[in-house]
Amino acid sequence: MKMKLLAAMAGLLLLPALAQAHHAGTMFDSENTRQLTGTVRAFQFTNPHSYIQLVVEEDGREEEWSIELAAPSHLHRLGWRRNTVGPGDEVRVTIAPLRDGRKGGEVREISYADGSPLALKR
35, 94 Cβ separation under 8 angstroms: yes
The arithmetic mean of pLDDT across residues 115-119, rounded, is: 94
Is residue 17 scored above 90 in pLDDT?
no
Share of the chain above pLDDT 70, in %: 80
pLDDT band at 25 (very low <50, low <70, confident <90, very high): confident
Q: What is the pLDDT of residue 20?
A: 41
What's the pTM value of the predicted model, to 2 decimals?
Answer: 0.78
**Domain residue spans in the chain?**
27-112
Q: For residues 27 and 11, which has the higher predicted lDDT (pLDDT)? A: 27
Domain 27-112 is found in CATH 2.40.50.140: yes
The arithmetic mean of pLDDT across residues 30-40, rounded, is: 96
